[in-house]
Structure 1
Amino acid sequence: MENNLDFNNQEIWDNHSPKPKQITTFKRFGIHAQFQEMQYDDRGSWDVTMTDLHLASLITPTQHRYGASANQYHAVSPSSSVVLPGDRLVGGWEGKMVGQHLFISEQQFAAITGTELASHNIIPYDFALQSETTPEVDIIVNLLAILAHDARHESPAGPIFAETIISALLQNLTGSKAKIWGYGQTKSQNADKITNIAIDILQANLINGVSLMDIAKQIGVSVQYLCRMFKQSTGMSPHQYLLRERVFMARKLILEGDLPLAEIALEVGFTDQSKLSTTFKNILGYSPSQLRN
């Protein structure tokens, strides 16, 4: 594969103060993915909006805060994070650290997995807010470390090695069989088509909600068939998808501003703050108040 990378994350690092120093980078596995290993000074802040799927591994312990500068810092052990396109991250760090970062465009995600990013139940992880590690988190840390080693040694096995590692990372995230850069089988096209239409309807009715009967009627299938196809493509029910998207929207509002949690709950479609908090913690593993404080 040609070494013609036009995938540029300079704006992300420009929005760090001070800007981290690049240790190594990969420029050999296509134009829509990039690996970078970065070294950070002993104190700084960031305010970035992700345009791509971002997998990161922190390989040195440090302190992180999220949100405004007055918020408290959390001790962070070596671990990984997952950030979705459109997420805005505001925060800071204390302590010198090294981070490994993989950016994958939504187009490249679809090319590798055969499905759209939005159709998968990918849960964002935050370094400082995960109460305990999981096998999925450990896998991200280990596979990014392999990419870093490969990058430092200028890919002795050739580009297919890195491409295989990236496919393995996406398989770990999605629970599906990712293709090896264009090879392999995809899921049922019919299931994906029905799911994509259903997701469009759910997204259009995220706040007020929509019944399964209405979704099935618009697509022209039975409720039972709709739920079966949706589960086959995403690994969750339409209702679970709706709750997940509301939680993601709430998370974004918490990170970007200072609206009271009660207002955010109503803004994203929950009946009250208590329902938001319970659902938020069930899906992300920590509460809205932990994210804010």
Structure 2
Amino acid sequence: MRDRWRSHLLQTLSGTDDGSPPWVRQLAEGTDAGYFGPGSASWAVHGGMATMVAGIRALLVQAMHPGAMAGVHDWSRYREDPLGRLTGTIRWLITVTFGDRATAERSSAMVRALHERVRGTYLDASGRSVPYSAGDPDLIEWVHLAFTDAFLTCHEIWETEIPGGPDAYVREWAVAGELIGLTDPPLTAADMRARLRGFSEAGTLRADDRVHDVVRFIRRPPLVPGMLPAYRIMFQGAIASLDPSQRAMLGLGRPAPLAVPATGLVLRSARSLLGERSTSEEAALTRIARLREMT
């Protein structure tokens, strides 16, 4: 039973039963320690189990921007291949976090190239038709802010302290924003959250039928039946982590009672299944140890 659960979890997160697809094994290669390294805030946050809840939260928040929602609706194959889209996002996150610099830059260049192809129009909050590209500065900023806030907030709720504190994580992860084209990423948690509020205060965000459809899909994704009970708990945890105004816009009620401690129990169980270090972190440590031996 334990092995089956572990296999299901690794298949969902990495696309393979053992958590070591070729791109993870390649993290052991490279010529430098990467942008962050052991002991960094980014390694601590992205190596934690709260990332599973953060991913849910980030998708919910990102959907509130009509431009980001249009890109998902018009171009994403999330319904046909939801796990493929998930593992693609995870691959970029893990590669930038644990890979060497050249690998992180190549992965980010692929993301930028994909963004250039994602174009169309959307209706803004006032009902006006607006042309967009996924590479537009405001959309890149929105996605980066929603992502950074989600992973920071969930780590603060369910994990241990961050080396250097929240500002260290925001400052470090600004590098990832720059790699995908953001020219002025926030460098402090206060600035990051102020910019997020700015989108709301400017009246940019909206929740229409497309958003509510995506929320329903995120609430009930096509996972294997054995994983659904744990996922439902984590979904409630994601709801609990949201600001009340975000829950209201998304049409989400109050989280279930005890959502936060129940989610913590699920995350601790996942940690016991997967071990203290991910296969990605182990590969990165192998690379760093090899480089140290060469000096």
TM-score by length of 2: 0.24
Please state which structure has a larger fraction of its residues in strand. Answer: 1
Structure label with greater radius of gyration: 1
- Greater length-normalized contact order (CA 8 Å, ≥ 6 residues apart): 2
Please state which structure has a larger fraction of its residues in helix. Answer: 2
